[in-house]
Protein backbone atom coordinates (compact mmCIF):
# COMPACT_ATOMS: atom_id res chain seq x y z
CA UNK A 1 0.00 0.00 0.00
CA UNK A 2 1.33 3.41 -0.97
CA UNK A 3 1.67 6.16 1.63
CA UNK A 4 -0.03 9.53 1.35
CA UNK A 5 3.27 11.16 0.35
CA UNK A 6 3.52 8.74 -2.57
CA UNK A 7 -0.05 9.54 -3.67
CA UNK A 8 0.17 13.32 -3.32
CA UNK A 9 1.47 15.33 -6.30
CA UNK A 10 3.26 18.40 -4.95
CA UNK A 11 3.09 20.15 -8.32
CA UNK A 12 -0.73 20.22 -8.07
CA UNK A 13 -0.76 20.15 -11.87
CA UNK A 14 -4.08 18.30 -12.19
CA UNK A 15 -5.74 20.61 -9.67
CA UNK A 16 -4.60 23.57 -11.79
CA UNK A 17 -6.04 21.88 -14.88
CA UNK A 18 -9.40 21.33 -13.17
CA UNK A 19 -9.56 24.98 -12.15
CA UNK A 20 -8.86 26.02 -15.74
CA UNK A 21 -11.73 23.81 -16.89
CA UNK A 22 -14.04 25.38 -14.32
CA UNK A 23 -13.04 28.89 -15.39
CA UNK A 24 -13.92 28.01 -19.00
CA UNK A 25 -17.04 26.01 -18.16
CA UNK A 26 -20.13 26.49 -20.31
CA UNK A 27 -22.39 25.01 -17.65
CA UNK A 28 -23.08 26.31 -14.16
CA UNK A 29 -20.45 24.62 -11.98
CA UNK A 30 -19.78 24.68 -8.23
CA UNK A 31 -16.69 23.17 -6.63
CA UNK A 32 -17.82 22.27 -3.12
CA UNK A 33 -15.49 22.87 -0.14
CA UNK A 34 -13.23 19.94 0.63
CA UNK A 35 -13.87 17.74 3.66
CA UNK A 36 -10.38 17.83 5.14
CA UNK A 37 -11.24 15.08 7.64
CA UNK A 38 -12.01 12.59 4.87
CA UNK A 39 -10.05 13.50 1.73
CA UNK A 40 -6.70 11.99 2.70
CA UNK A 41 -8.36 8.88 4.09
CA UNK A 42 -10.24 8.28 0.82
CA UNK A 43 -7.05 8.57 -1.23
CA UNK A 44 -5.43 5.94 0.98
CA UNK A 45 -8.47 3.66 0.94
CA UNK A 46 -8.68 3.70 -2.85
CA UNK A 47 -4.94 4.12 -3.48
CA UNK A 48 -5.49 6.89 -6.00
CA UNK A 49 -3.02 9.65 -6.71
CA UNK A 50 -3.73 13.36 -7.01
CA UNK A 51 -1.94 13.18 -10.37
CA UNK A 52 -5.21 11.64 -11.57
CA UNK A 53 -8.33 13.76 -11.95
CA UNK A 54 -10.27 11.34 -9.74
CA UNK A 55 -7.74 11.81 -6.94
CA UNK A 56 -7.78 15.56 -7.45
CA UNK A 57 -11.58 15.78 -7.18
CA UNK A 58 -11.48 13.74 -3.96
CA UNK A 59 -8.55 15.54 -2.36
CA UNK A 60 -9.37 19.14 -3.25
CA UNK A 61 -13.18 19.22 -3.39
CA UNK A 62 -16.23 18.03 -1.51
CA UNK A 63 -17.64 17.21 -4.93
CA UNK A 64 -18.81 19.10 -7.99
CA UNK A 65 -22.36 20.28 -8.70
CA UNK A 66 -23.32 20.98 -12.30
CA UNK A 67 -26.41 22.94 -13.40
CA UNK A 68 -27.84 23.60 -9.94
CA UNK A 69 -27.09 20.05 -8.84
CA UNK A 70 -28.69 18.20 -11.74
CA UNK A 71 -25.36 16.38 -11.98
CA UNK A 72 -23.35 15.49 -8.88
CA UNK A 73 -19.71 14.35 -9.11
CA UNK A 74 -18.53 12.71 -5.91
CA UNK A 75 -15.55 13.99 -3.94
CA UNK A 76 -14.79 14.04 -0.22
CA UNK A 77 -18.32 15.12 0.78
CA UNK A 78 -20.00 18.36 1.83
CA UNK A 79 -23.23 19.43 3.54
CA UNK A 80 -24.75 19.92 0.07
CA UNK A 81 -23.42 16.56 -1.12
CA UNK A 82 -23.33 14.44 2.04
CA UNK A 83 -21.84 11.37 0.37
CA UNK A 84 -18.25 10.76 -0.55
CA UNK A 85 -16.60 8.45 -3.05
CA UNK A 86 -15.71 5.83 -0.43
CA UNK A 87 -18.94 5.75 1.59
CA UNK A 88 -21.22 5.72 -1.46
CA UNK A 89 -19.30 2.83 -3.00
CA UNK A 90 -19.17 0.98 0.33
CA UNK A 91 -15.44 0.44 -0.04
CA UNK A 92 -13.89 -2.58 1.67
CA UNK A 93 -10.23 -3.49 1.11
CA UNK A 94 -10.08 -1.02 -1.76
CA UNK A 95 -13.04 -2.58 -3.61
CA UNK A 96 -16.61 -1.37 -4.15
CA UNK A 97 -19.20 -3.52 -2.43
CA UNK A 98 -22.10 -1.53 -3.90
CA UNK A 99 -21.23 -2.40 -7.50
CA UNK A 100 -18.28 -4.82 -7.58
CA UNK A 101 -15.91 -4.40 -10.48
CA UNK A 102 -16.64 -0.70 -10.86
CA UNK A 103 -16.55 2.62 -9.04
CA UNK A 104 -19.60 4.88 -8.93
CA UNK A 105 -18.30 8.41 -9.44
CA UNK A 106 -21.32 10.58 -10.25
CA UNK A 107 -25.07 10.60 -10.66
CA UNK A 108 -27.89 12.80 -11.85
CA UNK A 109 -30.89 13.92 -9.89
CA UNK A 110 -33.37 11.73 -11.80
CA UNK A 111 -31.69 8.41 -11.05
CA UNK A 112 -28.96 8.00 -13.64
CA UNK A 113 -25.64 6.70 -12.31
CA UNK A 114 -22.11 6.93 -13.72
CA UNK A 115 -19.47 4.29 -13.00
CA UNK A 116 -15.87 3.68 -14.02
CA UNK A 117 -15.52 0.19 -15.45
CA UNK A 118 -13.17 -2.04 -13.50
CA UNK A 119 -14.35 -5.26 -15.10
CA UNK A 120 -18.07 -5.19 -14.28
CA UNK A 121 -19.06 -4.33 -17.86
CA UNK A 122 -18.04 -5.47 -21.31
CA UNK A 123 -15.80 -2.76 -22.67
CA UNK A 124 -12.57 -0.98 -21.92
CA UNK A 125 -11.33 -0.83 -18.35
CA UNK A 126 -11.46 2.80 -17.23
CA UNK A 127 -14.36 3.80 -19.48
CA UNK A 128 -17.33 5.52 -17.86
CA UNK A 129 -20.66 3.71 -18.12
CA UNK A 130 -24.09 5.28 -17.51
CA UNK A 131 -27.07 3.51 -15.98
CA UNK A 132 -29.74 5.32 -18.00
CA UNK A 133 -33.07 5.74 -16.18
CA UNK A 134 -35.02 5.60 -19.45
CA UNK A 135 -33.64 2.17 -20.44
CA UNK A 136 -32.15 0.76 -17.21
CA UNK A 137 -29.21 -0.38 -19.35
CA UNK A 138 -25.57 0.31 -18.54
CA UNK A 139 -24.44 2.32 -21.58
CA UNK A 140 -20.77 2.81 -22.49
CA UNK A 141 -20.08 6.52 -22.90
CA UNK A 142 -16.74 5.70 -24.55
CA UNK A 143 -14.92 8.28 -22.47
CA UNK A 144 -12.46 8.24 -19.59
CA UNK A 145 -13.21 9.81 -16.21
CA UNK A 146 -11.24 12.92 -17.20
CA UNK A 147 -13.16 13.22 -20.46
CA UNK A 148 -16.42 12.72 -18.58
CA UNK A 149 -15.68 15.49 -16.07
CA UNK A 150 -14.59 17.79 -18.88
CA UNK A 151 -17.86 17.06 -20.70
CA UNK A 152 -19.96 17.86 -17.61
CA UNK A 153 -18.27 21.25 -17.42
CA UNK A 154 -18.03 22.22 -21.08
CA UNK A 155 -20.41 19.91 -22.97
CA UNK A 156 -24.06 20.30 -23.91
CA UNK A 157 -25.40 18.60 -20.78
CA UNK A 158 -28.94 19.94 -21.21
CA UNK A 159 -29.15 18.42 -24.68
CA UNK A 160 -28.08 15.05 -23.26
CA UNK A 161 -30.93 15.34 -20.74
CA UNK A 162 -33.53 17.14 -22.86
CA UNK A 163 -36.07 14.27 -22.71
CA UNK A 164 -35.71 14.06 -18.90
CA UNK A 165 -36.22 17.73 -18.10
CA UNK A 166 -39.44 19.62 -17.55
CA UNK A 167 -40.34 23.30 -17.39
CA UNK A 168 -38.74 25.02 -14.38
CA UNK A 169 -36.94 21.79 -13.40
CA UNK A 170 -34.18 23.74 -11.68
CA UNK A 171 -36.61 24.95 -8.97
CA UNK A 172 -37.14 21.38 -7.76
CA UNK A 173 -33.53 20.32 -8.30
CA UNK A 174 -32.28 23.07 -5.98
CA UNK A 175 -34.42 21.59 -3.19
CA UNK A 176 -32.81 18.17 -3.54
CA UNK A 177 -29.48 18.03 -1.69
CA UNK A 178 -26.84 15.64 -2.98
CA UNK A 179 -28.10 12.71 -0.91
CA UNK A 180 -31.54 13.04 -2.53
CA UNK A 181 -32.95 12.63 -6.00
CA UNK A 182 -36.22 13.07 -7.86
CA UNK A 183 -38.42 10.03 -8.36
CA UNK A 184 -40.45 10.40 -11.55
CA UNK A 185 -43.55 8.23 -11.95
CA UNK A 186 -44.46 6.55 -14.22
CA UNK A 187 -40.77 5.69 -14.40
CA UNK A 188 -38.76 7.18 -17.24
CA UNK A 189 -38.32 3.72 -18.79
CA UNK A 190 -42.09 3.06 -18.73
CA UNK A 191 -44.75 4.23 -21.14
CA UNK A 192 -46.82 7.10 -19.88
CA UNK A 193 -47.55 10.78 -20.15
CA UNK A 194 -45.01 13.32 -21.30
CA UNK A 195 -42.46 14.32 -18.68
CA UNK A 196 -44.39 17.47 -17.70
CA UNK A 197 -47.37 15.41 -16.54
CA UNK A 198 -45.57 12.69 -14.59
CA UNK A 199 -45.47 12.92 -10.80
CA UNK A 200 -42.21 13.98 -9.19
CA UNK A 201 -41.12 13.60 -5.58
CA UNK A 202 -37.85 14.07 -3.71
CA UNK A 203 -36.54 10.81 -2.23
CA UNK A 204 -33.18 9.51 -0.91
CA UNK A 205 -30.76 8.83 -3.76
CA UNK A 206 -30.25 5.32 -2.37
CA UNK A 207 -33.95 4.67 -3.00
CA UNK A 208 -33.46 5.54 -6.68
CA UNK A 209 -30.44 3.22 -6.82
CA UNK A 210 -32.32 0.31 -5.23
CA UNK A 211 -35.36 0.90 -7.45
CA UNK A 212 -33.16 0.73 -10.53
CA UNK A 213 -31.65 -2.57 -9.39
CA UNK A 214 -35.06 -4.05 -8.53
CA UNK A 215 -36.59 -2.96 -11.83
CA UNK A 216 -33.61 -4.31 -13.79
CA UNK A 217 -34.26 -7.70 -12.22
CA UNK A 218 -37.99 -7.53 -12.99
CA UNK A 219 -37.22 -6.67 -16.62
CA UNK A 220 -34.67 -9.48 -16.91
CA UNK A 221 -31.73 -7.12 -17.35
CA UNK A 222 -29.62 -8.60 -14.55
**Which carries the bigger pLDDT value, residue 96 or residue 192?**
96
Q: What is the CATH number of the domain that holds 63?
A: 3.40.1580.10
pLDDT of 64 reads 99
Separation between Cα atoms, residue 146 and residue 158, nearest integer Å: 19
Question: What does the DSSP 8-state code read for residue 143?
Answer: -
Contact 87, 77 (CB under 8 A): yes
CA distance readout (Å), 119 to 106, 125, 151, 193: 18, 6, 23, 37
5-19 confidence digits (pLDDT tens): 999 999 999 999 999
Strand partners, 129: 115, 140
156-179 confidence digits (pLDDT tens): 999 999 999 999 999 999 999 999
pLDDT of 171 reads 96
Separation between Cα atoms, residue 180 and residue 79, nearest integer Å: 12
Residue 122 lies in a domain: yes
Residue 103 lies in a domain: yes
Count of the separate structural domains present in the chain = 1
Residue 184 lies in a domain: no
Separation between Cα atoms, residue 128 and residue 125, nearest integer Å: 9
Residue 211 lies in a domain: no
Residue 204 lies in a domain: no
Residue 171 lies in a domain: no
pLDDT at 222 over 90: no
Domain that holds residue 145: 4-163
181-196 confidence digits (pLDDT tens): 999 999 999 998 999 9
Give the length of the chain: 222
Amino acid sequence: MKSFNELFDKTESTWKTLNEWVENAKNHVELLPVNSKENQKILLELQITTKSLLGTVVYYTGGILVNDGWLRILGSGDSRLPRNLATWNQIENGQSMRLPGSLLVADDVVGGFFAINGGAFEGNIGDVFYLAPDTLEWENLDMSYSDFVNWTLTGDVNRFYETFQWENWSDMVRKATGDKGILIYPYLWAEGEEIELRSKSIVPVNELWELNLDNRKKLGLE
